[in-house]
Amino acid sequence: MEEVAPQVLGRLEELGPAVSLDLNLSVEAYFDTLTTLIDRFCNKKQLTCIYISVTVPASTIKAALGSLEIATDRLRFVDCISFATMECAPSDDAQTVFVESPAMLEYIVLKVEYLFRKGKGERFMVILDSVNSLAAHNEVRMLYEFMQVLMASVKSRGAYPVLLSIGEQMKPEVHEMLQLVCDQIITLK
Amino acid sequence: MAASPGTKLCTGMECIDRLVGGGLPVGGMVSVCGPCGSGKTFLAMEYLLRGALAGQRGVYISTVHSPEKLLASMPRLDRAEGDPFKDGRLAIKHIDDMGSGEREDGKITRPEASAIVEDIAEAIDGSKAQRLVLDATNPLMLEMQDWVARAFLVSLSKLLFKAKCTGLLITEGDDMQGLEQTMADGIIRLGTAVRRGDNYRVLEVVKMAGVAHSRAKYVMDMTSEGILVTPMLRGL
């Protein structure tokens, strides 16, 4: 497997902000991709990273990054999974806002908008982790409409929109939908 | 001088201004209705707080909770400067503490209804308010016969228009056939939509005089940045 970081960083630099990018990755490349995006891109460029977590609770991601001594102070989470598992503790973590269910797509849009407003004047990257998990909770037609609204909102803020998808686990109709809503799809080798 | 027809009050709340083409009619009477927990009081408070931020004074008249209780549960907006209730930009009053006082027999007669309108006029005049909230209308309407309620609302509507004060009448419940809705210049309905077992807070503009407003349903969220809305997805 080629190194993930040069592929991801090279493409982000080339595309710039307001271009929706789907990173189609393998399970093995997942964590490397994440650390590249957060540490080597957002932290280096001083971007605030809005991380929409649908697969893994925000606390787990934060702890994993912390164990690698990656700074997480620029991270803001929209955690769509902890409420469903009753593991959310809103008062404990000022960096995280919760959505009650990954099926409540409008609230994801609203929480992202809220974090944009809270960080007035900051520059952003928005990571959606992952398309596969959202597709497990939502019909493709609904997901398509959601993606269009979310991407329009993120692009209008001049942020970097990045979607993570695991190609080997994806249904063909979800892949088709991604081709419609994304400006670029990169398969990480 | 009374408000000129067609002029708009930019509320400073994007969720409202965007949906009604820039703002509410100046001197208009707008009904905000919805069931318990739908966000009516939050919306009303934000309406006044945004006004205060823009240098517009406002009055909140409660018919239910005491001012102390309302102030304790006041939404806190990011970027709000100072406390507009302490520095006089906003006033909060309970209807029973105003000039005409509490009515003992549980019925509001025509003269008593007129006295309430005079109290409201005094409150608007006294604080030079450009924004008014009456929360909620139901306790008053319940104590009035229909013809008295109608006369009360007509007088209130005239008063607001003359004073160029834009008022929100908060009404508990889903009934769109109430007198408040019939006589209002605009209706904003808050409620709950259920999709696949999940409850969504929703907002829709049912009517707004003289404006080609949105008729869509919007999902709303109450945050420290105020009420945020996004169109409800259809998945078609």
Cα B169 to Cα B178: distance, rounded to the nearest angstrom: 12
Q: Does the CB of A114 have a partner CB in chain B at under 8 Å?
A: yes
Q: Does the CB of B229 have a partner CB in chain A at under 8 Å?
A: yes
Higher pLDDT, A10 or B73: A10
Cβ atoms of B149 and B178 closer than 8 Å: no
Most confident of A136-145, B1-10, B63-72: A136-145
Phi and psi, residue B196, nearest 5°: 50, 40
Domains of chain B listed by start with CATH number: 28-190 (3.40.50.300)
Residues in chain B with CB shorter than 8 Å from the CB of A101 are: 198
pLDDT digit of tens for each residue in chain A (189 aa)?
A: 568 999 999 999 999 999 999 999 999 999 999 999 999 999 999 999 999 999 999 999 999 999 999 999 999 999 999 887 777 765 567 899 999 999 999 999 999 999 999 999 999 999 999 999 999 999 999 999 999 999 999 999 999 999 999 988 889 999 999 999 999 999 987
How many residues make up chain A in this entry?
A: 189
Q: Would you state the structure tokens that stand for residue A100, as one six-digit string? A: 């009650």
pLDDT, residue A89, reads 65
Query: By 3-state DSSP, what share of chain A in percent is helix, strand and coil, each rounded to 5?
Result: 50, 20, 30
Instruction: Answer whether CATH 3.40.50.460 is correct for domain A4-187.
Output: no
Cα A158 to Cα A51: distance, rounded to the nearest angstrom: 16
The SS3 call for residue B218 is: strand
Q: Does the CB of B76 have a partner CB in chain A at under 8 Å?
A: no
Residue B2 has pLDDT above 80, yes or no: no
Cβ atoms of B26 and B9 closer than 8 Å: yes
Residue B222 has pLDDT above 90, yes or no: yes
Q: What is the Cβ-side half-sphere exposure of residue B137, based on CA atoms within 13 angstroms?
A: 30
Mean pLDDT of all residues belonging to chain B: 92
> How many Å lie between the alpha carbon of B107 and the closest alpha carbon of chain A?
44
Summarize the confidence of residues B125-129 as an average pLDDT.
95
Buried residues in A100-137 as b, exposed as e (16+ CB within 10 A):
eebbbbbbbbbbbbbbbbbeeeeebbbbbbbbbbbbeb
pTM comes to 0.93
The SS3 call for residue A83 is: coil
Residue B195 has pLDDT above 60, yes or no: yes
pLDDT, residue B77, reads 83
Higher pLDDT, A188 or B9: B9
Confidence of residue B200 (pLDDT cuts 50, 70, 90): very high
pLDDT tens digits, B86-111: 889 999 999 989 877 666 677 899 99
Which one-letter amino acid corresponds to residue A59?
S
Interface contacts (A, B; CB < 8 Å): 51
Between chains, do A145 and B221 touch, taking CB under 8 Å as contact?
A: no
Q: Would you state the structure tokens that stand for residue B213, as one six-digit string? A: 């407003």
Residues in chain B with CB shorter than 8 Å from the CB of A109 are: 230
Please name every residue paired with A92 in a beta bridge, in sequence order, or none if there are none.
none
pLDDT, residue B102, reads 67
Cα A11 to Cα B165: distance, rounded to the nearest angstrom: 55
Candidates A68, A49, A67, A183; CA nearest to A129 is A49
- The residue extents of the domains of chain A are 4-187
Between chains, do A142 and B235 touch, taking CB under 8 Å as contact?
A: yes
Cα B183 to Cα B146: distance, rounded to the nearest angstrom: 13
The ipTM is 0.92
Summarize the confidence of residues B53-76 as an average pLDDT.
92
Cα B231 to Cα A163: distance, rounded to the nearest angstrom: 22
Residue ranges in A92-184 assigned as alpha helix (H): 105-118, 131-137, 140-156, 172-181
pLDDT, residue B95, reads 92
Summarize the confidence of residues B200-216 as an average pLDDT.
92
Q: Does the CB of A107 have a partner CB in chain B at under 8 Å?
A: yes
Summarize the confidence of residues B150-169 as an average pLDDT.
97
Cα B195 to Cα B48: distance, rounded to the nearest angstrom: 32
The SS3 call for residue A20 is: coil
